[in-house]
Amino acid sequence: MKSIYIAAAAATALVPLVLFLHTFSSSPLPQPKPFVGPLPSATPPPGMAVFALPTGVTHRVAAFAYRGGSLLERRDFSMAGALVKHPKGDLLIDTGFGRHIAEQFQTMPILFRAMTFYTLWQPAADQLKAAAYDQKALRAILLTHAHWDHVSGLPDFPSVPVWVTAQERAFISRGGSGQFDGQFGKPLTGIVYEEYGFEGGPYLGFPRSHDVYGDGSIVVVPSPGHTPGSVIIFLTLPSGKRYAMVGDLVWQLEGITLREERPWITRRWADSDAGGTRENLLRMIALKERLPELIIVPAHDMRGFAEMPRLSRAGTQTSRPE
Ligand SMILES: [Zn+2]
Ligand SMILES: [Zn+2]
């Protein structure tokens, strides 16, 4: 009789574990209809180009990033920025790890630190310096969102304004005042934020847009969910090559190619509004169906940044001209 009670207690204890493990199993979102709207025109100026600035990695496993990913498959998440050269003013999209990541990281909650291992390669500011790039050519830093791993390098660019939406600016202002929300424990100081809005109409399935230089080469759309003011940045190069810098809409490309969301625990942990993330994820899946040549660059997927040239140390030329 006693053994029956023990077996029943063990089974009861196992139920939550089984349910929890199930949240890591494959569960593709329904396939949305392909995007059917017109492709917007763009006239990117000669000389416009994009360069990858990988600054380091965090060491994770595939299961952390998407449902159906293996707990045993190691994945290094890229921590990266991208330099967009444009005659009207260059932009840095996110910063990846900056020069002060070690001190900044110590301000994060202990549980987060216990779960997060990173390697710093070279901060974006040092990569630009090594390439003899003058920071004065930077018009702004355009953030996909304001989480720690995207803003760490902001203090390395003291005179460069940081472009954010009003929603993200409010999110930044709330940082450090309550529950861990992906920001550093201490706000970054001395940063000049400039807000922008979405004055433009629908763009590639997203309801509103912001055409940075009015030529269609850099177009920002709202993608709230991961954070309230997350955005996606579409780049169209003179060659016709198109990129979508999707930030943390997904952490690895399988989020889009396999239509797999983050597992429940990382949705809970990392997304301000998981429903919003899902809505925008479905938009990107629908767009990728229509535009298979679109290069999707999740901020933490090396495979996306591998589709971009790197800055040459000898100057701002690339070994793979666009
Ligand atoms: Zn994030
Ligand atoms: Zn991130």
Does residue 314 lie within any of the structural domains? Answer: no
Give the distance (Å) from ligand 1 centre to CA of residue 251. 9
Using pLDDT thresholds of 50, 70 and 90, give the confidence band for residue 313: low
Query: Which one, of 315, 225, 230, 242, lies nearest residue 278 by Cα?
Result: 225
Give the distance (Å) from ligand 1 centre to CA of residue 13. 33
Stronger pLDDT, 317 or 191, i.e. the higher one: 191
Residue 177 confidence (pLDDT): 53
Query: Which residues form the domain of 145?
Result: 32-305
Residue 113 confidence (pLDDT): 95
Does residue 88 lie within any of the structural domains? Answer: yes
Residue 255 confidence (pLDDT): 98
Tell me: pLDDT of 77 over 50.
yes
Stronger pLDDT, 21 or 77, i.e. the higher one: 77
Give the distance (Å) from ligand 2 centre to CA of residue 36. 30
Give the closest ligand to the alpha carbon of residue 301. 2
Residue 321 confidence (pLDDT): 38
Give the closest ligand to the alpha carbon of residue 116. 2
**Per mean pLDDT, which range of 43-47, 172-176, 267-271 is the poorest?**
172-176
Does residue 13 lie within any of the structural domains? Answer: no
Using pLDDT thresholds of 50, 70 and 90, give the confidence band for residue 301: very high
Tokens found for residue 86: 């444009």
Separation of alpha carbons 200 and 164, rounded Å: 16
Tell me: pLDDT of 69 over 50.
yes
Give the distance (Å) from ligand 1 centre to CA of residue 227. 7
Give the distance (Å) from ligand 2 centre to CA of residue 2. 51
Burial readout 231-263 (b: 16 or more C-beta within 10 A, e: otherwise): bbbbbbbeeebbbbbbbbbbbbbbbbebbbbbb
Tell me: pLDDT of 319 over 60.
no
Does residue 12 lie within any of the structural domains? Answer: no
Residue 28 confidence (pLDDT): 96
Does residue 322 lie within any of the structural domains? Answer: no
Residue 283 confidence (pLDDT): 98
Percent of the chain exceeding pLDDT 70 equals 95
Does residue 23 lie within any of the structural domains? Answer: no
pLDDT digits (tens, 9 = 90+) for 227-247: 999 999 999 999 999 999 999
Domain count, the chain: 1
Does residue 316 lie within any of the structural domains? Answer: no
Give the distance (Å) from ligand 2 centre to CA of residue 226. 9
Give the distance (Å) from ligand 1 centre to CA of residue 212. 23
Residue 282 confidence (pLDDT): 98
pLDDT digits (tens, 9 = 90+) for 130-188: 999 999 999 999 999 999 999 999 999 999 999 999 999 999 998 755 567 899 989 99
CATH number at residue 141: 3.60.15.10
Tell me: pLDDT of 217 over 90.
yes
Give the distance (Å) from ligand 1 centre to CA of residue 36. 29
Does residue 10 lie within any of the structural domains? Answer: no
